[in-house]
Every structure is written in structure tokens, then in C-alpha cells.
């Protein structure tokens, strides 16, 4: 028996001591699942959350682990911590964990734009990990899938412009939003109404062009994240990016309608070829066979699916793509675990 | 009693003899409702459809009208026919109706791009009606709401570029699609699966970047309609337009994320002012009060709602808008009835 309630059994066992903060949430639970699926070498897994979730149990490799209340000393002796709490929790506790010797991979917005914090998508900019000082930021879900699809195109043809409209699943908001979409849908189908609790307006059979809060320039913070994080990850502060972020009544899987301008002209078939060889990408783009990415295709996988690749009809170097990925997996938990794997590979853990 | 089963009662009664082809469908039923709501001066309403729907009854001003089987002679003596049948039916029967003295307002794709057929949105290009030869085409739903929002901007600041991503409701496909979304949602919420019948893939809690069929250039016909029809309606064959059309699990109301480039620079407040005075437009754009257009706001109205108006952060003359309208109303039935009203006003009926 290797794991039990975060306590280590036997010093000779190899692997890392891993803690997950926010383990009871949608992303936290997925982190546990992905660590298991990918056989990340864990010799001790500690699950942490607020008092409200303490005592809940989560399966890991066949064992029931109990969630404990998070406090700084919980990270003592741990090698790696995956954080999926809010930004304010991350701000207050991440440095405490680092001080105690832990490398933190943080899924919140707290550290992403700090100049000395690497913001990493392993398929795109793994080399940034070399400079880490204890905290590594996991990008926003919508950003991750976009840069996985666009980086190979940028490397081959250059990239000067991105205009993206998103179609984002409710699981990005969390478990309560998943419940809200379920119960609201049932109520509406029965001709009843139910006051929304998680979102300001009904999400069932509706859409909200509103993700996170709004900033003064008229953009939502989600839209600004996509703009700023993409520039940082692609190391191109001048790339022109605009985003419109929209919440849709889908449980899992974010979709993105993306317009790009490359610097060198490309044939559509060349873009398809480049993407076909790109890590983490599935080109699913055969209109005769009605093959195009959809959220229901990404429920159980970690790939970024790209389809509807076509040339703009009016502009040289203009192209349109449709990109779908599981926001809890590649957009959050899987990317975090992949960062952990990359740290291992590079001897940085 | 003025109306009964399409037969005229008393020659002295004023008003027009109106026929609706495809009266049993989602748009056809809405046409009946909108004629009633707007008090269109009907002295005789005849409802037509295929044999499958003949005998069904539909209320109009408190009377139950029975749907009859469509054939060319049904249009004899009628002033106006609103067509909402498929393209092939329109192609085969519209000229027959015109031959019998009827003005046809056709909601299908059959005639829209014919050079001598006016393609009209009354708020945008009503003057085109003057040249009609019997058939007037009602534009595609997604096109209508876009041009209502963009024409006032074009008139004031010029317009050189449109990139639009749509979020289209299932009612655009018809009554069977509404039923499919309902029953599929219920099944999925109960953990059951149900084979899709109307769409090639599940639409409940999913999205399909696929509306109408695909053409060889990689665009769907829906996307090409938006491109070609917008150019015709705005009388600007050179305007650069790209579209990505996506079906979403919403019953009523199409949404559009639109990027535009104007020719003259504009302040956002000027765009808001121009749109506030524009016919048929509601500017609903106050982020502090969380006011932005959503499909659930347009269920019972005919306006085109515009919000999230903001400046592109990188490009002069670049702006982003979010536009929502009821696809069965302004996107179809209401626009057709408004064309009828405009014909009346101009003495063309």
C-alpha cells in the first residue's frame, strides 16, 4: 500500500511527494485523475482544501484519500504542489509553500503575468521552466488550447494577428456551475423557472458574453487574459490579439473560432501538415466526412482538436480555424501535470 | 367574421389577400403570429403546406385556419405570398404565384443572389423594393441582424472589414430541431443516450461548427450566405467579410461576435450614439450593470440588440460588437412582414 491519507509509507519508495490545493473542485479532482492516468511517480499524495471540503474523500490508485485543511506547514517536505484555488488563496499561500521547499504549479490568475514567473504550456515554451523560482503559472484554459494550435503555425509561417471568439463550457466556472446548468436545464424543460445562482443570468439554453469580471476598457478579464498570456507565452509582445469570451451551455470543452494572419503566405494543406506533426494537436478536418472538432469529442482526452481550417477569401495570409479542447484537462489539470513531467525530465524537481 | 379557412367574406372589406406557404413550419407559424401582432391589413389569409401538414389548424385573430395543400392555382387572386418552404419548392412555385398576380416574399435561399431579385432588410435597403418583378428575397437570419447593426456604422464611418463568428439557435433549422434539442437534453440529463436525427451529431450540451452543407472552398453555405448576402444588401461588392457559423444548444436567438474595421476612426461613444438612433436597434451595453445582449432577451421581440461595443486594442478603426436577435422574428418572419409593410407604404402591393 503506497498511499494513504497523504502519509508516506516507507522511505525507500521512489517518486515525489505531491500536494494538491483545491482538491475538491472541478480542476482539483481532475488533477488527481490525471496524475493517476499518466502514472505520475507519486509516492505520497496530500489533498488540501478549505474547511468546507475537509473530510471529503477522493480515490487515487484505488485508495480513498481524505481532504485536509490547507495551511502553510502542510507543504513541508513536499516536492510539488498543484494549486487550483482562487487567486487570493494562491497569492497568500504559494510563497509559503515555496519557502518550505515545494515547487508550486499554480492554476490561478495570481502569478501568470509576474515577469519572473514562467507561464508554461509544455508543447509551446517548456524552456521557460529553466528559470523558475519556485512558482510556475498554468495559463488560462482558453489561452492554452489556442497557443498549442497556433505556435506550430507561428514557427513555420510567422503570426501577426489573432482574433478569437470563444464558446466556453460551464465546467470552467466549477462544480457549482455544472450543477446549475443541469438543474436549470431540467427546470426549463419542465416549463419551470429557477433563479440563477452561479451566473448572473440563466445559462441553460442561453449564452453570456461575460466571463470573469469586466475591466474598464470594455474587455472582460477573461478576454484580457487571453491577450496578455498569449503574448507572454509566444514571447511576442507585439502580436495583435483580440478576444471575445462567451459562456455557452456546454458542460465540458471550450471551442474557439480563430482568425489569424500569418507573415508568410501558406497553403491550407501546409497548415494542416504543420499541425498534424505538432505535439498535442489532432487535426480533425474532413468536411466530406463531416469531421470537425466538437466539445463532445474531447470529454475524455487531452488533445487540442483543430478543424475548419480555411483560407480567408479576401486577405492574403488570412486563415480561419476552429479549435476545441477539454478545458478541465488540457486547459487546466493535464497542462499542470505535464509541467510537472517536464520539470522531472529537466531535473528541476 | 372576416377570416375563415382562406375564403373571402364580403368584397367591401379592405386589406390584402395573403397566402403563407410553409405555414406549418417554425417560420411559417411565426409569420402568422407576426401578421397578427403587427395588425397587417389582411382580409383573407390562406395557409399552405405540403400534404403532410394539410388539415392542421392555426389560430389567426381568434379564428382557426386550416392548412391546405399548396399548388400554383392557390395563389390566384392573392396579393401577397410569404414563402417559407425549402429552396427547391420556392424555385418551382414562386414564378407560378407571380404569374397569377401575387407578390412573393421568399424566405428561402432560392432567389437571394439573383441579380434582378431585391434582397431586402427594410431598415437597410428598402429602396431596392422599387425594382421588384414579383419576387422579393428575405435574407438569411444571420445576415439580417448583422446588416441592421452594421449599416448605420457604415453610413457614418465607412466599413471595410467584417469578421463574424455566430452562435445560432436550433429553431433556425425548424420545429424538429427544437424537439431534438429538448428530448436529447432530457435524455442526456437522465444519463441516457439518444441517436441524433436532425443534426449529424448531438446538439444538446454540444456545438457544431456546421450549418447548412459545406462548399468546396471549406466554408459552409451558411457562411457563404452571410458573405454574399451582406455584400448585396450593403451594395458593396468589395467589402471584406469572413464568417464562421456555429450551431449552439439554444432554442431561440442567434448571437454574433463581430469584428469590424471602419474607414474613418470613431469613438466607441459615437458608435453607441449612431446605433442608439438606428431603426430596429437596441443598444444594450452597460457593463457596470451587467447589461449585454443574450438570446433569452430576444424571445418575444423584433429588435436587434447590440452590446459589448469596444475598440480593438491594437488597430485603429477596429471595433468589436456582440449582436443578438430572434432568428424566427427579425431573422425571418418579422423581416418578411416588414417587407410587406414597406411594399404597402410605397404603393407596390
Q: Is it the case that residue A1 has pLDDT exceeding 70?
A: no
- Assess whether B210 carries a catalytic annotation: no
Residues of B in contact with A248 (CB under 8 A): 167, 207, 248-249
* pLDDT tens profile A96-132: 999 999 999 999 999 999 999 999 999 999 999 999 9
Backbone φ and ψ for A121, nearest 5 degrees, come out as: -115, 115
How far apart are alpha carbons B88 and B96 in whole angstroms? 13
Ranges of CATH 3.40.50.720 domains, chain A: 3-139+332-345
Which phi-psi region, left, alpha or beta, contains residue A298 (left: φ > 0; alpha: ψ -120 to 50)?
Answer: alpha
Task: Suggest the residue from B286, B296, B311 to mutate for an interface test with chain A (most A CBs closer than 10 A).
Answer: B296
CB distance B321 to B347 below 8 Å: no
For chain A, positions 107-146, list CB contacts with chain B under 8 A.
Answer: none
**Strand extents, DSSP E, chain B:** 3-4, 7-8, 16-21, 42-49, 57-60, 63-66, 68-69, 80-83, 103-106, 135-137, 161-167, 240-244, 254-261, 281-283, 304-311, 318-325
Answer whether B187 touches A (CB < 8 Å): no
Q: What is the DSSP letter of A186?
A: H
A318 touches chain B (CB under 8 A): yes
Report the alpha-carbon distance of residue A187 to residue B72 in Å, rounded. Answer: 46
Q: Which CATH superfamily is domain B143-327 in?
A: Dihydrodipicolinate Reductase; domain 2 (3.30.360.10)
- A61-72: pLDDT as tens digits: 999 999 999 999
| pLDDT at B7 exceeding the cut of 80 | no
Residue A3 has pLDDT above 70, yes or no: no
| Every domain range in chain A assigned CATH 3.30.360.10 | 143-327
Residue in B with minimal Cα distance to A186 = B186
Nearest to A207 among B208, B294, B320 (CB): B294
pLDDT digits (tens, 9 = 90+) for B186-196: 999 999 988 99
Mean pLDDT of A153-177: 98
Clarify whether A317 is annotated catalytic: no
ipTM of the complex: 0.95
Residue that the C-alpha cell 451587467 belongs to:
B290
Residue-averaged pLDDT of chain A: 95
Instruction: Say which residues have a Cβ less than 8 Å from residue B142's Cβ, sequence separation at least 6.
Output: B164, B166, B168, B222, B225, B226, B243, B245, B254, B256, B327, B331
- Tell me what the mean pLDDT of segment B77-84 comes to: 97
- Give domain A3-139+332-345's CATH architecture: 3-Layer(aba) Sandwich (3.40)
Q: Which of B209, B250, B287 sits opposite A322 (nearest CB)?
A: B209
pLDDT at B9: 38
pLDDT at A47: 98
Query: Which residues of A are part of a known binding site for phosphate?
Result: 112
Question: A257 near B209, Cβ under 8 Å?
Answer: yes
* Per-residue model confidence as pLDDT tens digits over A216-241: 999 999 999 999 999 999 999 999 99
Whole-number pLDDT of residue A313:
98
Radius of gyration of chain B (CA): 20
Question: Where does chain A have alpha helices with state H?
Answer: 26-37, 87-99, 141-157, 175-189, 221-233, 268-276, 334-345
Amino acid at each position: 500500500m503506497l498511499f494513504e491519507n497523504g502519509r508516506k509509507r516507507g522511505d525507500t519508495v521512489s517518486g515525489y511527494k505531491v500536494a494538491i490545493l483545491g482538491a475538491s473542485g472541478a480542476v482539483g479532482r481532475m488533477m488527481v485523475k490525471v496524475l493517476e492516468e499518466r502514472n505520475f511517480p507519486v509516492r505520497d499524495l496530500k489533498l488540501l482544501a478549505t474547511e468546507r471540503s475537509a473530510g471529503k474523500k477522493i480515490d487515487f490508485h484505488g485508495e480513498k484519500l481524505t481532504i485536509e485543511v490547507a495551511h502553510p506547514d502542510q507543504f513541508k517536505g513536499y516536492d510539488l504542489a498543484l494549486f487550483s484555488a482562487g487567486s487570493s488563496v494562491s497569492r497568500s499561500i504559494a510563497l509559503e509553500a515555496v519557502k518550505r521547499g515545494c515547487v508550486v504549479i499554480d492554476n490561478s490568475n495570481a502569478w501568470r503575468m509576474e515577469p519572473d514567473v514562467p507561464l508554461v504550456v509544455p508543447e509551446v515554451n517548456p524552456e521557460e521552466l529553466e528559470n523558475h523560482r519556485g512558482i510556475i503559472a498554468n495559463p488560462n484554459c482558453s489561452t492554452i488550447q489556442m497557443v498549442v494550435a497556433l505556435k506550430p503555425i507561428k514557427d513555420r509561417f510567422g503570426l501577426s494577428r489573432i482574433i478569437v471568439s470563444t464558446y466556453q463550457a460551464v465546467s470552467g466556472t466549477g462544480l457549482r456551475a455544472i450543477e446549475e446548468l443541469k438543474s436549470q436545464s431540467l427546470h426549463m424543460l419542465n416549463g419551470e423557472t429557477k433563479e440563477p445562482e452561479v451566473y448572473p443570468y440563466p445559462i441553460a439554453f442561453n449564452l453570456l458574453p461575460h466571463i470573469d469580471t469586466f475591466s474598464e476598457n470594455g474587455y472582460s478579464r477573461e478576454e484580457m487574459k487571453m491577450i496578455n498570456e498569449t503574448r507572454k507565452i509566444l514571447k511576442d509582445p507585439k502580436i495583435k490579439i483580440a478576444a471575445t469570451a462567451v459562456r455557452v451551455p456546454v458542460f465540458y470543452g471550450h471551442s474557439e473560432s480563430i482568425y489569424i494572419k500569418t507573415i508568410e503566405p501558406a497553403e491550407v494543406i501546409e497548415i494542416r501538415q504543420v499541425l498534424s506533426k505538432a505535439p498535442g494537436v489532432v487535426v480533425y478536418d474532413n468536411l466530406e466526412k463531416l469531421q470537425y472538432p466538437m466539445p463532445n469529442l474531447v470529454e475524455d482526452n487531452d488533445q487540442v482538436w483543430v478543424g475548419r481550417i480555411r483560407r480567408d477569401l479576401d486577405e492574403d495570409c488570412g486563415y480561419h480555424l476552429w479549435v476545441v479542447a477539454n478545458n478541465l484537462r488540457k486547459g487546466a489539470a493535464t497542462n499542470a501535470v505535464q509541467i510537472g513531467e517536464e520539470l522531472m525530465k529537466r531535473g528541476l524537481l
